[in-house]
Amino acid sequence: FKLADDGSRVTFSFLTPISVANPDELEKQQGVRSLSRRTEAAALLRPKTPSGPTVVAVWGSALEGDWEKDLGESIKRSVSSFAWSAS
């Protein structure tokens, strides 16, 4: 994970294995024997709001193969560009 210099935002990513009931069948259908999901996330921290401290989180995820093909960069950009303005 990475904490912003001012402590207001933490970003992190992780890879989660997905259980596969029949790896042989998955390999026949998709050419892989296992599946994993990549996730990119950020949490924004606001210590002073009228109702007290607040945390807002945003995340995006995709199967690892889709992440590597074409979704990973756009998900990372979306998560990193997220901004929160308390009204």
Compute mean pLDDT per 10 residues along the chain, 87 residues long, and list them: 88 96 95 96 86 89 95 95 77
Give dist(CA 12, CA 59) in Å, integer: 9
For residue 32, the model assigns a pLDDT of: 93
Give dist(CA 37, CA 45) in Å, integer: 26
Question: In Å, what is the CA distance from 27 to each residue of 23, 38, 61?
Answer: 6, 20, 22
pTM, full prediction: 0.80
For residue 12, the model assigns a pLDDT of: 94
H/E stretch holding 59 reads strand 54-63
For residue 87, the model assigns a pLDDT of: 55
